[in-house]
Amino acid sequence: MTPLSRIIELTYNKIEFHIAYKIREGGSGLIFFIHGLGCAKELFDDVWNFTGLNDYTIVTVDLPGFGDSGMPDAFSGDLQDHAQICRCLISRLPERRIHIVGHSMGGAVGLLLSDMIHDRLESFVNVEGNLISHDCEVSRRKVSVTFEEFEKKQLPGLILLTSISDQPGMRLWSTYIKKADRKGFYRSSRSLVNWSDSGRLLKAFRKLGCKKVYVYGETNSFLKIITMLDGIPTVSISQSGHFPMNDNPGEFYDVLAGFICS
């Protein structure tokens, strides 16, 4: 079945949002994909061609200010508020048991969302999601300056650097960043740094009562967080970096299906 592209109107904290998402209905649980900073729902487009998850309802969403979702001026960009928007969207979908797949910043948003829907949460897949201070060094550099300097110097530099990367996922990120709302990117970056520094994200991941796994790209096997997960299962995706779903989609979605369907 072909996924449907939709835009839904939501109200949260008296602010109106227009949230873009893609959905393909299935009879089993709901797999809810959350992208990272500066990305978009298209990050996960290879899932639509993967038959191993055909029995599941699949949703990929653009967070406010990213992809095709609008960025209201009054929106804080705080990760907690991003999670609330996801909760609002899920509440409008057919009720299913939920599997969250969160990449990078989306992993942090997914953890905050997990606390809001814990009674329906079946599993959590953390794809190099932010958990500790060390996980957000790029964001930290981008928000250590004023918004004006970020907009004029930091962001163009990031777009250029990612556009010439030898990793397919990084080059895709460059195209998504160009589409992102600049204030949304900046505000979300600031919140991401604060949440990563707080120590609360790692505690939340450890305390999750559902089935969970940490997935990372082979070239990032040096990540400090991998040694701090206290027995939580980890999986390395070969021939990939920070964007394993783009660098090696075949292996990534095989691993995802094996985990969710087991």
pLDDT at residue 217 in the model: 98
CA nearest 137: which of 193, 187, 78, 77? 193
Q: What angle do CA 187, 189, 194 make, to 5 degrees?
A: 100
Least confident range from 138-147, 149-158, 228-237: namely 138-147
Residue ranges of domains in the chain, CATH in brackets:
4-261 (3.40.50.1820)
Q: How far is CA 82 from CA 21, 105, 107, 110, in A?
A: 14, 10, 12, 9
Predicted confidence band at 23 (pLDDT cuts at 50, 70, 90)?
Answer: very high
- Distance CA(157)–CA(134), nearest Å, equals 21
Q: What is the mean pLDDT of residues 119-137?
A: 92
Secondary structure of residue 12 in the 3-state scheme = strand
Which residues are paired to 54 by β-bridges?
none
pLDDT at residue 262 in the model: 84
**pLDDT of 144 strictly over 90:** no
By the 10 Å C-beta count (0-12 exposed, 13-18 middle, 19+ buried), 106 is classed as buried
**pLDDT of 18 strictly over 90:** yes
- For residues 128 and 137, the answer to whether their CB atoms sit within 8 Å is no
User: 32-65: per-residue pLDDT in tens?
Assistant: 999 999 999 999 999 999 999 999 999 999 999 9
Q: What is the mean pLDDT of residues 182-192?
A: 95
The share of the chain scoring above pLDDT 90, in percent, equals 90
Give the end-to-end CA distance of the chain in Å, rounded to a whole number. 23
- Distance CA(187)–CA(19), nearest Å, equals 18
Q: What is the mean pLDDT of residues 149-177?
A: 93
Distance of CA 171 to the CA centre of its chain: 17
**pLDDT of 202 strictly over 70:** yes
For the record, the structure tokens of 195 come out as: 């949440």
Predicted confidence band at 133 (pLDDT cuts at 50, 70, 90)?
Answer: confident
User: 211-244: per-residue pLDDT in tens?
Assistant: 999 999 999 999 999 999 989 999 999 999 999 9
pLDDT at residue 122 in the model: 97
State how beta strands 57-61 and 30-34 pair. Answer: parallel
**pLDDT of 17 strictly over 70:** yes
**pLDDT of 203 strictly over 90:** yes
- What are the start-end ranges of the H helices in the chain? 79-91, 105-116, 137-142, 147-149, 155-163, 168-179, 182-198, 200-207, 244-247, 249-261
pLDDT at residue 139 in the model: 65
Q: What is the mean pLDDT of residues 125-137?
A: 89
pLDDT at residue 136 in the model: 76
Q: For the stretch 59-84, what's the b/e string if a residue is b when 16 or more beta carbons lie within 10 angstroms of its beta carbon?
A: bbbbbbbbbbbbbbeebbbbbebbbb
How high is the mean pLDDT of the chain?
95
